[in-house]
Amino acid sequence: MSTESSAPAPDGETVPVPQPQQASAPNPYIMPPDVPNNDAGQGIHFDFNWGARVLLPKRPDGRWRATLTDLDNSTIIFQGELEEGHLSSTKKFFIRFAVDVVRIATDGTETKVLRHEYDARDKLILVQLPVGTLGDTLGWFPYVARFAEQSGARVICCLAKVFIPLFADAYPNIQLTTKEDFEASPLRSQVYATYNIGLFFDDTDNIYQPCDFRYVGLHRTAGYILGVDPTEEAPKLVLEDDTRPIEEPYVCIATQASAQCKYWNNPGGWLGVIAFLKKRGYRVICIDQKPFSGAGIVWNQIPNGAEDETGNRPLAERARWLKHADLFIGVSSGLSWLAWAAGTKTLMISGFTHPNNEFYTPWRVISWHACNSCWNDPRHQFNHNDFLWCPRHANTDRQFECSKLISTDVVTKNIALALDA
């Protein structure tokens, strides 16, 4: 708790502005105004934008006593007396706060001037999804919808523009906007509470998230931050064109990723899968954004034998292909999440993440005999700038063994099970 505009951590150090992903990146969140949005009279202002915030003006005589309480846990978070100050709770995720302010005269007479219990019903609530990555947003958005339904709030969700056409018709009760548009909106001064969703790698004191996202899963962390049931649920999609793109039976694949550890690093794996599918009469459609991807001297090409439908296409077009596919086969990357959202049977090949990290699929392929789950190990912070990140076995024969040791045979057996299910 702090009497300044930023809150100190439990050790007394100033808490930095939250920076999911990379600390050097520009702040991805819209920060709240310096003066809290709710006017309680007598110069007192409060809101719940980035934690509970209370502004107490300087008194010519006497002082204030302010108390912040977690109503659901019957815990006093802060109580103190001061002549003036700007209080801000250390914890920034959802807490059902009560704010109490008492005016204490110089003779000791006490007068209660504010008692407010958090109630989001019919209030304007801002939820920020700060990155444009496909999997994160698809995984997080159902919890935004759950919060809106549970709270009865008027929810505004800031997210990347590319997602708005995908969600707008499916979630008419949520106002979707971009960060840039909302920064210029007069509604900023009416926001009652703000919740920032993200992957907070350095949040050892659990300031921005109740528990480490690596423990609960990439998507479920949004449920914990918003204080709703973290049970996973696929987002709803409404497609303007959901007709079948081709008549023949087909399977979609996506082989590319943003880091080499996410790839299926078995050199002949995809070739074997494509041959297996073609023998069963399927066309194999590659829907990656790019036909090749990599960094430095390491580049990954579209597998031979797959039909090339790569390109910078609208997400709705990708979802259309996925909706009518008999199966999607991919790695731990965004198109797997889109397949899940489209209701398509999904086979995911991943070793660097623990299965708890992503949505459940009965056709998740991982080798427990190889090194695995480094992404979910807090001892190893993911380096977004190192395409060849392999924290346990870099520059050794065991680099990327987590997926290298997943055999083609194991994958094709699971493909057969999925296609026959």
Q: Which of 20-29, 260-269, 320-329, 365-374 has the weakest average pLDDT?
A: 20-29
**Is pLDDT at 303 greater than 90 in this prediction?**
yes
Gap between the Cα atoms of 11 and 26, Å rounded? 26
pLDDT at 26: 75
| Residue 136 bears catalytic tag | yes
pLDDT at 1: 53
pLDDT band, very low/low/confident/very high, at 131 (cuts 50, 70, 90):
confident
pLDDT at 25: 61
Packing angle between helix 334-341 and helix 315-323, nearest 10 degrees? 60
The share of the chain scoring above pLDDT 70, in percent, equals 94
44: tokens are 């007192």
The share of the chain scoring above pLDDT 90, in percent, equals 92
Q: Average pLDDT of 389-405?
A: 98
Block residue for tokens 């008419």: 172
pLDDT at 134: 96
For 318-358, how does the pLDDT look when each residue is reduced to its tens digit (9 = 90+)? 999 999 999 999 999 999 999 999 999 999 999 999 999 99
pLDDT at 60: 85
Rg of the chain over Cα atoms, rounded to whole angstroms, equals 25
Q: Average pLDDT of 379-389?
A: 95
Q: Average pLDDT of 20-34?
A: 74
CATH: 3.30.10.20, 3.40.50.2000, 3.30.70.20, 3.30.565.10. Which one for 250-420?
A: 3.40.50.2000
* Residue type at 332 in one-letter notation: S
**Is pLDDT at 2 greater than 70 in this prediction?**
no
For 135-161, how does the pLDDT look when each residue is reduced to its tens digit (9 = 90+)? 999 999 999 999 999 999 999 999 999
Q: Average pLDDT of 215-229?
A: 98
> What ranges do the domains of the chain cover?
125-226, 250-420
* Residue type at 33 in one-letter notation: P
For 186-205, how does the pLDDT look when each residue is reduced to its tens digit (9 = 90+)? 999 999 999 999 999 999 99
pTM for this prediction: 0.92
| 289, 322 Cβ separation under 8 angstroms | no
Instruction: Please give the residue that has the higher pLDDT: either 3 or 162.
Output: 162
- Catalytic, out of 47, 136, 203, 288: 136
Q: Average pLDDT of 305-312?
A: 98
For 36-77, how does the pLDDT look when each residue is reduced to its tens digit (9 = 90+)? 999 999 999 999 999 999 999 998 889 999 999 999 999 999
For 98-123, how does the pLDDT look when each residue is reduced to its tens digit (9 = 90+)? 999 999 999 999 999 999 999 999 99
| C-beta atoms surrounding 95 within 10 Å | 21
Q: What is the mean pLDDT of the chain?
A: 93
Gap between the Cα atoms of 146 and 227, Å rounded? 10
**Is pLDDT at 33 greater than 50 in this prediction?**
yes
